[in-house]
Amino acid sequence: MNDQTTSAAPKKSSFNWARELERYALLIAWVLLILFFSQVAPASFLTWSTFSSIIFGSQAVLLILTLALIIPLTAGDFDLSVAAVLTFSAMLLAILNAQMGWPLWAAFLVCFGMGLTVGLVNAFFIIFFRIHSLIVTLGTASIIQGVILWVSGSQTLTGVSNTLIEWVIVKRFLQIPMAFYYAIILAAIIWYVFEHTSIGRRLLFVGRGREVARLSGISVTKVRAGALVSSAMLASLAGIINGGTTGGADPLSGLTFLLPAFAAAFLGATAIIPGRFNPVGSVIAVFFLVTGITGLNFLGVDTFVQNIFNGAALIVAVSASQLVRGRQEQGIT
Amino acid sequence: MSMSLASARCGALSSSAQPNSKGAPKDGAPALLAQHISKTFGGERALDDVTFSVAPGEVHGLLGQNGSGKSTLIKVLSGFHHPDPGGSLQIYGKDVGLPVSVGSFRSLGLAFVHQHLGLVPNLTVLENFVVGDLATQQSAFLNWPKMRRKARETFAQFDLDLDPETPVAKLPQVERALLAIVRAFEDIRAEHLAHGLPGILFLDEPTPFLPKEGVDKLFSLVRGIVREGASVIFVSHDVDEVMEITTRATVLRDGQFAGTLATEGATKDEFISMIIGHKVEPYQAVPQDYSTKAADISIEGLSGGALKQTSLGLHKGEVVGLTGLIGSGFDEIPYLLFGARQAASGQITIGDQATDVASAKPMDAIDQGLALLPADRLGAAGVGELTITDNMTLPVLDELRAWFGLDRAGMHNRANRLGGEYDVRPNTPVMKLASLSGGNQQKVLLAKWLQTKPVLLLLDEPTQGVDVGARQQVFGAIAQAAEQGSAVICASTDYEQLSQICDRVFIFARGQVVQELRGTDVTKDRIAEQTLLSLSLSGGYKPSDTTGAPA
């Protein structure tokens, strides 16, 4: 043995089965889930129309919201205000477009302007006053929710322009509504930014080691603010898509997206690039959750099962991922 | 293999030999006798048939490079790792079954102080001191005055100036270490009173983040503890410290027992060659005299933290050391210049471009060609859970572009090339930074900045927690950067390191330069002596070339 060898060279294993399995476990679980329901649920489950309109087609809003969340999560900040921004955006759209007759583009501008403002306010309090993001965004979420109830008079509004509805759910490709493709395009853009731009690297370093990032010349303030503004703007987009899906806006239902979106974000972080929030994992996570819930609905289980399934899937998946890591005894020091 | 390596003079034990009788209790049993301890991780032997013993009342060193198996051995003894079958462990002559069940070490009279000390910063000294009792005793009523009295008595016994009511967060690092050690000793003492075993205290590298003065305090505490009859196992890779404090020391190399040396009579070379298996030629720069040349970089009126109105002149290719006692402010300079900490005032002039340091941010400093390698390796210098590639390429992402955005293959190749150049082991760019040894982490982080060809490289304790072999490589990399035209500032309390790499050394006291050593004066002993004298030197120093003008 060579005396100069201070640390033994690692074995050149070409393929690490455990790691690859961990990366694709969620995808495999999704396929198994589909197979399972195709056996136990009525035959109508395993048809293209179920997949095109329900599993892929119905949850574009949840998917966009999940994608919005993983940006500040990667930078190390929570944004609990996204669901409120989504609801407010849909409400503004309904008020301006349906009630006041504004053209769609003008209403969109206001929606995105609102998202920008909320993002900046969040960033200001989180970064300038150094308050934890959970607290600030919990506060802004509550304020926005109050404003929504005020401006809507606690009423559900309808009558959003048909053009929007058409471009969101009526027009289809392969029978899947356009909203699905918007969400997938967004996921692809975020994937590109995360993996192939220096902004993505900076975001990652800011989230994992703020001091390291700062001392490497990264403007931590700008990156964090940018992430919070992005999540709020994307939540506004999710609100517009929601308005197009439902044809209007109601003051409360948007909030039900918050927990599933967080569940999907964390679930997605166990897949593809385990341990990192990543858009591909998020997409798989959303479809995994939606498939489970749809399948259970086909079996005639009540709608309350949604929450139970989301929560249980999250805990089981994260535990399983932890178990895989824990088993490999780490660190030879 | 472990047996054959041990020469008789080393006093190593073979499995059948009687333990060293020096200081042994009446029945002659050693305080600790560990035999044939092995540990395999996923096919790799981290510990290979290690046997060693510790006498009662002895300070026993445990030495070795990073990756030599020291930590694994300690973790086996504390029950954290299960050893491979075949080993045995005796404490004061009594067989203890392996694996040691976690948590039972306390009842065996063992106590451990790890580098991270295990203190809760938000709680007071007293609360931390009694946390062991709080965890194990069922009591409906806590007698705080009594606990406070007991803590005061213990602190007084060891001459520790600790106030029980101070939150630990407000203590300097030295006092935190002292608190952790004295707390561990209290556990042992309680056990001693209950079962009559004097106890064994393990100190797992308690010193790398302490300045010299702190180490002295810590050593006097350790001497006080062995006077009480307990044994101390002192894990370190600092040979000087081991030679100063221990009676004997066991050396591990590549997971195997390399030998046990009686400290008295052993030379530093003997230790070093046992640690690394062959003699190292210590890196030694020949100090260059720049005093006749005009300064290329001048720093004027720098203040901030403990530092007051300091001016320095630097030359291209020069390595300048900064040192002093705790609180003298020398260690602030790299951070202030880089904008990592806000300076109160100051100006840096590089070539003919002057910049106000007080308003500079790290990104401005980088634009000027400065680079900072902070001492806090995984807190400020690099991110442990990200890969070598991610860490290395962060400052140069703009160079690594392809038509599709970032050139991922190019990033990997860059990390691979730099890893080869700086001898990162293993040179596997997809590995997480945290899974490398301290020395290899430092090579990665040094490479991260040296690839930017900095005009001024700022270092703070660049070889803290770095093993002997990697240390020489880090020095080599610094020297190479200087040769290629970088000026280097190195803040350190490691006098040997300063003497090896520096052309000049500035000694600080009360926030100002009090002495400048150059040429043949740049020796370990001169630096140590002048630093110790520094408080009486204040005021007398007239900088000869702060502006770089010929003397």
Q: Please give the Cα distance from B67 to B252 (Å, whole number).
A: 9
Residue A315 sits at the chain B interface (C-beta within 8 Å): no
Question: What's the mean pLDDT in B400-414?
Answer: 86
B214 vs B507, more confident? B507
Shortest distance between the Cα of B189 and any Cα of chain A, in A, equals 30
A274 in Cβ contact with A30 (< 8 Å) = no
Which residues in chain A are closer than 8 Å to B278, comparing Cβ atoms? 3-4
Question: CB distance A196–B379 less than 8 Å?
Answer: no
pLDDT tens by residue, B444-474: 999 999 999 999 999 999 988 787 788 888 9
* Beta-carbon contacts below 8 Å between A and B: 115
B121 in Cβ contact with B210 (< 8 Å) = no
Closest chain B residue to A328, measured at CA = B42
pLDDT value at A206 more than 80: yes
Specify the pLDDT at position B348. 92
Specify the pLDDT at position B457. 95
Q: Please give the Cα distance from B191 to B185 (Å, whole number).
A: 10
Amino acid identity at A270: T
End-to-end CA distance of chain B: 61
pLDDT value at B286 more than 90: no
Residue A195 sits at the chain B interface (C-beta within 8 Å): yes
Give the global pTM: 0.74
Instruction: Provide the pLDDT confidence category of residue B281 given band limits of 50, 70 and 90.
Output: low
pLDDT tens by residue, B65-109: 766 788 788 888 888 788 888 888 888 888 887 777 766 777 778
Question: CB distance B385–A275 less than 8 Å?
Answer: yes
Q: Please give the Cα distance from A157 to A250 (Å, whole number).
A: 6
Question: CB distance B71–A4 less than 8 Å?
Answer: no
SS3 per residue for B65-121: CCCCCHHHHHHHHCCCCCCCCCCEEEECCEEECCCCCCCHHHHHCEEEECCCCCCCC
B498 in Cβ contact with B507 (< 8 Å) = no
Shortest distance between the Cα of A124 and any Cα of chain B, in A, equals 20
Instruction: Provide the pLDDT confidence category of residue A193 given band limits of 50, 70 and 90.
Output: very high
Amino acid identity at B444: V
A198 in Cβ contact with A131 (< 8 Å) = no
Specify the pLDDT at position B539. 53
B81 in Cβ contact with B39 (< 8 Å) = yes
Looking at residue B313, the DSSP 8-state letter turns out to be E
Across A224-233, A263-272, A302-311, B434-443, least confident range: A302-311
Question: CB distance A211–B379 less than 8 Å?
Answer: yes
A237 in Cβ contact with A62 (< 8 Å) = no
Closest chain A residue to B383, measured at CA = A209
Specify the pLDDT at position B415. 92
Question: CB distance B277–A3 less than 8 Å?
Answer: yes
Which residues in chain B are closer than 8 Å to A195, comparing Cβ atoms? 405-406, 408
Most confident of A41-55, A110-124, B37-51, B53-67: A110-124
The mean of the pLDDT values for chain B is 81
B68 in Cβ contact with B255 (< 8 Å) = yes
Specify the pLDDT at position A106. 93
> Over pLDDT 70: what percentage of chain A?
92
pLDDT tens by residue, B484-497: 989 999 999 888 88
Question: What's the mean pLDDT in B430-439?
Answer: 85
Shortest distance between the Cα of A209 and any Cα of chain B, in A, equals 6
> Over pLDDT 70: what percentage of chain B?
86
Which residues in chain B are closer than 8 Å to A275, comparing Cβ atoms? 385
Residue A172 sits at the chain B interface (C-beta within 8 Å): no
pLDDT value at B19 more than 50: no
Which residues in chain A are closer than 8 Å to B66, comparing Cβ atoms? 6-7, 333
Residues in chain B: 551
Which residues in chain B are closer than 8 Å to A211, comparing Cβ atoms? 376, 379-380
B60 vs B240, more confident? B60
Which residues in chain B are closer than 8 Å to A274, comparing Cβ atoms? none
Strand pairing report for B401-402 and B405-406: antiparallel
B274 vs B491, more confident? B491
Residue B379 sits at the chain A interface (C-beta within 8 Å): yes
**Rounded (5°) CA angle B319-B206-B493:** 20
Q: Please give the Cα distance from B35 to B473 (Å, whole number).
A: 35
User: Which tokens in the block code for residue B7?
Assistant: 């020469």
Residue A331 sits at the chain B interface (C-beta within 8 Å): yes
Closest chain A residue to B46, measured at CA = A332
Residue with tokens 């166990």: A270
Specify the pLDDT at position B538. 56
**Angle at which helices A178-196 and A198-208 pack, to 10 degrees?**
80
Specify the pLDDT at position A76. 93
The count of other CB atoms within 10 Å of the CB of residue B308 is 16
Closest chain A residue to B364, measured at CA = A217
B437 in Cβ contact with A224 (< 8 Å) = no
Specify the pLDDT at position A1. 35
B171 vs B423, more confident? B423
The closest CB to that of A198, out of B398, B408, B431, belongs to: B398
Look up the ipTM and state it.
0.82
**B82, B254, B376, B443, best to mutate vs chain A, most A CBs in 10 Å:** B254
Interface subset of B 54-113, CB within 8 angstroms of A: 65-67, 70-72, 81
Shortest distance between the Cα of B511 and any Cα of chain A, in A, equals 24
SS3 per residue for chain A: CCCCCCCCCCCCCCCCHHHHHHHHHHHHHHHHHHHHHHHHCCHHHHCHHHHHHHHCCCCHHHHHHHHHHHHHHHCCCCCCCHHHHHHHHHHHHHHHHHHCCCCHHHHHHHHHHHHHHHHHHHHHHHHHCCCCHHHHHHHHHHHHHHHHHHHHCCCCEECCCHHHHHHHHHCEECCEEHHHHHHHHHHHHHHHHHHHCHHHHHHHHHHHCHHHHHHCCCCHHHHHHHHHHHHHHHHHHHHHHHHHHHCEECCCHHHHHHHHHHHHHHHHCCCCCCCCCCHHHHHHHHHHHHHHHHHHHHCCCCCCHHHHHHHHHHHHHHHHHHHHHHHCCCCCC
pLDDT value at A33 more than 60: yes
Residue B312 sits at the chain A interface (C-beta within 8 Å): no
Residue A153 sits at the chain B interface (C-beta within 8 Å): no
pLDDT value at A31 more than 50: yes
CA atoms within 13 A on the CB side of A267: 31
DSSP H or E stretch at residue B61: strand B59-63
Looking at residue B378, the DSSP 8-state letter turns out to be I
pLDDT tens by residue, A19-29: 788 888 889 98
Residue A216 sits at the chain B interface (C-beta within 8 Å): yes
B45 vs B9, more confident? B45
Q: For B156-193, give the DSSP string.
A: HHTT----TTSBGGGS-HHHHHHHHHHHHHHHHHHHHH
Q: Report the Cα B109 to chain-centroid distance in Å.
A: 27
Across B174-183, B281-290, B440-449, least confident range: B281-290
B255 vs B8, more confident? B255
Q: Report the Cα B450 to chain-centroid distance in Å.
A: 23
The count of other CB atoms within 10 Å of the CB of residue A280 is 18
The values of phi and psi at residue B257, to 5°, are -75, 120
Peptide bond into B99 cis (omega under 30): yes
pLDDT value at B25 more than 60: no
Residue A6 sits at the chain B interface (C-beta within 8 Å): yes
B483 in Cβ contact with B317 (< 8 Å) = yes
Specify the pLDDT at position B136. 66
Shortest distance between the Cα of B277 and any Cα of chain A, in A, equals 6
The count of other CB atoms within 10 Å of the CB of residue A132 is 11
Q: Report the Cα A231 to chain-centroid distance in Å.
A: 10
- Torsion angle (degrees, nearest 10) of CA B442, B448, B454, B457: -20
Q: A204-207, long-range: CB within 8 Å, 24+ apart, which pairs?
A: A204/A74, A204/A276, A204/B386, A204/B390, A205/B383, A205/B386, A205/B390, A205/B394, A206/A75, A206/A76, A207/A73, A207/A74, A207/A75, A207/A76
Cβ-proximal residues to B181 (8 Å cutoff; 6+ apart), any chain? B113, B201, B203, B206, B218, B221, B222, B225
A302 vs B442, more confident? B442
User: Measuring CA to CA, which residue among B3, B165, B188, B25 is closest to residue B105?
Assistant: B188
User: Measuring CA to CA, which residue among B308, B467, B448, B431 is closest to residue B392?
Assistant: B448
Q: Please give the Cα distance from A52 to A64 (Å, whole number).
A: 17
pLDDT tens by residue, A214-234: 999 899 999 999 999 999 999
User: Which tokens in the block code for residue A168?
Assistant: 């969101």
Helix (H, G, I), strand (E, B) or coil at B520: helix
User: Measuring CA to CA, which residue among B522, B520, B521, B516 is closest to residue B540?
Assistant: B516
Distances (CA, A) of A244 to A239, A248, A257: 9, 7, 16
